[in-house]
Amino acid sequence: MGFIEILIQVTWVAVVLFELTAAAVEFPIALPNCTDSCGGVEIPYPFGLREGCYLNHHFSVSCTTNSSGKTQPVISDDFIITNISLQGQIDMSMYIAHDCYDEQGVLDDKNSNDAWLNLSGIFTVSNTQNKFVVVGCDTYAYLKGYQPYNEQYSTGCRSQCESTRYIVNGSCSGVACCELDLPIGLRNITITSESFNKHAEVWRFNPCSYAFITRNGSFTFSVDALRSLRDKKEMPMVFDWAIGKERCKDVENICGGNSTCIDSDNGPGYRCECKDGYHGNPYLPHGCQDIDECENHDNCKGSGEKCLNILGNFTCSCIEGYHWDRSAGVDLCVINQPLLQVKLFVGVGISFIVVLVCSSWLYLIVKQRKLIKLKRRFFEQNGGLILQQKLSKQENSTAIAKIFTNEELKKATNNYDETLIIGRGGFGTVYKGILPDNRIVAIKKSKTVNENQIEQFINEILVLSQINHRNVVKLLGCCLETQVPLLVYEFIPNGTLFEYIHHESKASTISWETRLRIATETAEALSYLHFAASPPIIHRDVKSSNILLDGTHTAKVSDFGASRLVPLDQTQLATMVQGTLGYLDPEYMQTSQLTEKSDVYSFGVVLVELLTGKKALSFDRSEEERSLAIYFISTLKDNRLFEILEKHIVKEGKAEQLKEVSNLSKRCLRLKGEDRPSMKEVATELEGLRKMEMHTWVNVDSNSEETKFLLGETSDSYKYNACNKSTNVYDSVGDHVIFDLDDGR
């Protein structure tokens, strides 16, 4: 063997050993001669534990020992670091704000404090990785901070309950727990927790209010948290970090080799990241090193292929005995062998395909059986057997509910295509669907249903499906094969009354005559629910967005998600307050005693909307005009009625009629329910006003007796007998407080 051949072999061995050694060395994360960890937490550059090891003082980390002897990294002398990511995130522990009282309602100073965090400008609260959480049954809390350009930011959240009966573990939607998303670029935060009544009524199971920001998934609410959080001081939290305040275009040579600069997406500054095909610390001069893609066995895994690593990428080639075949339009390594061997491989391939097809067929059969069992379980869980039993007893009824299959409704909505969504509300989402018989329906996908009250839920479906009134949206049936039942209603094509009153393009198209007819039809529908339905039904969420209009502007009362069925031997119900702000009966809000007069108040607000064209509640108006009901009553007292009425209605010249309807609205909006007329009286009076309009020969001033007959007698003394005992009746969405500002249909 010659000298040159020996030299070549030695060189080749040296190269192989060098590559093996390089592969065994981990990518460095800190500057040379700098410690890269503390207490088991990695400290990558630009962070560091001593001067000369960090980029600047903002990235200085201290390695301290706590009272129990545990070593841990801290920043800003107080906040414990649990993880630092080179992708621009840092995990730390954040304090919990407490507001605690003893049994006598005295503030517990030792267990009460605000929480604050004031880090340097390179840190911002991650808006994608955190939530603001408030826990307590007598609690409200504030979060304050600063956004980019030193703009102040504040938000708040409230959670209430009177007992643990209706608290749902894992749910943080307002009953004992509420949570909020965070904005972009939030920093220098302060959290304050407070209580309404010093926890006097709930002290035995919840003595404190709590508020904190925590990493998504790190806290799951449960009843036990109402007490256990008192002993917990901190919660894990995620911050985004960036370098400086400049953007990438304003700086040069800022990142190491084989890396690139990217602007921060949560506030000012920039970050560095390795280019594709490289891995390491992009902030070090040579931190990003080539990845050996050939270690990933998914690369070049075709028969006869081998992988060759190149800088930032890899390439595939054929091993000995194979050659590239590009005849099929795809590069493949094909073996060099006789036709007989090729046929053998073809036979093996076909056998493999047959086995694969058979396995897939068996898998689909097993999966289908599991799906059938799951549908059956949901059907029984949602009361399907109870509903079938009750329907079998009503075979002679012409208006019974139909039980739809899940497949029917998926097909009707094109698998619940988002483009078919026609409404979102506090209780669910509504889709437009077409049944096989070409009927167009509205399919409501509810959010939740109380499993402990399935029988009452089924009874409500039966009652609502048998309501046969031209001004009430018809419930056609339901589907019980899904985790949450689906309800199927008749489809009303022309939108909501809210749209026709408040959208500029439609508001002036409805005359006063049409508005009066819509009001009359709505009143007749509510009167039917109160007095003709058995058992009587209180709608509890009467508003203009729950009144639909068909092609001829005929009113259709809809959305019974908050309705209550009233036992025949009772006139009022004790419930958790629920409805839409601006329409809520103030007496109901104060006493939680629900009566049919609560619907009368809400209808009175709708009447005022029809008269004025203004929204029931608007924070864009001045404080005096914010609540339409209060402002309307005020204008009547000041004899300024025609100043608030919608202009084009006043021009129609129905002054006396407008005054009568305004006075009727005023009576409906009386603070005491017993002083309001019944819906039957309201419907009668509105119908009388319509008849007066149709018979133009009626002279209001000179034919007062006839007019009084047409308008009907109003009874301000009409009262219900109050019941002082709360009753256990079924609520179709569960007894939790929902204040809906305006959820549409």
Residue 706: the pLDDT is 36
Residue 10: the pLDDT is 40
Q: Is 64 helix (H, G, I), strand (E, B) or coil?
A: strand
Burial 280-316 (b: 16+ CB within 10 A, else e): bbbbbeebbbbbebbeeeeebeeebbebebeeeebeb
The verdict on residue 271 lying in a domain is: no
Residue 382: the pLDDT is 75
Greater pLDDT, 387 or 449: 387
What would the pLDDT profile of 674-686 be if each residue is shown by its tens digit? 999 999 999 999 9
Take residue 699 and report the two structure tokens written for it.
Answer: 């002279």
The verdict on residue 96 lying in a domain is: yes
Residue 14: the pLDDT is 43
- Residues 424, 480, single domain; the answer is yes
Is there a cis peptide before residue 535, judged by omega within 30 degrees of 0? yes
- Residues 414, 486, single domain; the answer is yes
Which is nearest to 281 in space by CA: 255, 306, 304?
255
- Residues 170, 222, single domain; the answer is yes
The verdict on residue 544 lying in a domain is: yes
The verdict on residue 633 lying in a domain is: yes
Rounded percentage of the chain residues whose pLDDT exceeds 70:
81
- The parent domain of residue 483 ranges over 384-490
Who contacts 567 (Cβ-Cβ below 8 Å, separation ≥6)?
535, 727, 729
Q: CATH number of the domain that 585 lies in?
A: 1.10.510.10
Catalytic hit among 99, 240, 541, 585:
541
Residue 723: the pLDDT is 32
The verdict on residue 522 lying in a domain is: yes
pLDDT over 90 at 48, yes or no = yes
Who contacts 470 (Cβ-Cβ below 8 Å, separation ≥6)?
521, 554
Largest CA distance in the chain: 134
* Residue 445 among known ligand-binding residues: yes
| First CA to last CA distance, the chain | 91
Cα torsion through 578, 581, 582, 584, rounded to 10:
20
Lowest mean pLDDT among 42-51, 74-83, 208-217: 74-83
CA distance linking residue 247 with residue 243, whole number of Å: 9
Which is nearest to 300 in space by CA: 323, 316, 314?
316
Pairing of strands 555-557, 547-549: antiparallel
Q: CATH number of the domain that 477 lies in?
A: 3.30.200.20
The verdict on residue 200 lying in a domain is: yes
CA distance linking residue 261 with residue 251, whole number of Å: 10
Band the pLDDT of 399: cuts 50, 70, 90: low
- Residues 402, 527, single domain; the answer is no
- Residues 522, 646, single domain; the answer is yes
- Residues 478, 506, single domain; the answer is no
Mean pLDDT value across residues 225-250: 91
406: exposed, middle or buried (C-beta count within 10 Å: 0-12, 13-18, 19+)? middle
- Residues 481, 529, single domain; the answer is no
- Residues 217, 151, single domain; the answer is yes
Residue 130: the pLDDT is 95
- Residues 554, 641, single domain; the answer is yes
Identity at 230, one-letter amino acid code: R
> Which residue, 456, 490, 524, sits at the end of a domain?
490
Strands (E) in 34-160, as ranges, are 37-38, 41-42, 62-65, 71-75, 79-85, 89-95, 97-100, 115-117, 123-125, 130-135, 138-147, 151-160
Rounded percentage of the chain residues whose pLDDT exceeds 90:
39
Lowest mean pLDDT among 317-321, 354-358, 362-366, 505-509: 505-509
Residue 563: the pLDDT is 62
Residue 215 region by backbone torsions, left for phi larger than 0, else alpha for psi between -120 and 50, else beta: beta
- Residues 186, 317, single domain; the answer is no
Residue 665: the pLDDT is 94
pLDDT over 50 at 634, yes or no = yes
The verdict on residue 706 lying in a domain is: no
Lowest mean pLDDT among 56-60, 237-241, 555-559, 696-700: 696-700
Alpha-helical segments (H) within 443-511: 454-465, 497-502, 504-507
The verdict on residue 369 lying in a domain is: no
Q: What are phi and psi of 192, to 5 degrees?
A: -125, 130
Band the pLDDT of 194: cuts 50, 70, 90: very high
Take residue 703 and report the two structure tokens written for it.
Answer: 């034919």
> Which residue, 618, 648, 674, sits at the end of a domain?
674
Is the distance from CB of 583 to CB of 616 less than 8 angstroms?
yes
Residue 66: the pLDDT is 85
Identity at 186, one-letter amino acid code: L
Residue 636: the pLDDT is 92
Element (H, E) at 478: strand 475-479
Radius of gyration for the alpha carbons in the chain, expressed in angstroms and rounded: 35
> Which residue, 643, 674, 705, sits at the end of a domain?
674
Band the pLDDT of 337: cuts 50, 70, 90: low
Task: Identify whether 585 is a catalytic site residue.
Answer: no
Mean pLDDT value across residues 25-29: 71
- Residues 527, 667, single domain; the answer is yes
Report the predicted TM-score, pTM, of the whole model to 2 decimal places.
Answer: 0.46
- The total of structural domains in the chain comes to 4
pLDDT over 80 at 265, yes or no = yes
- Residues 485, 513, single domain; the answer is no
pLDDT mean across residues, the chain: 81
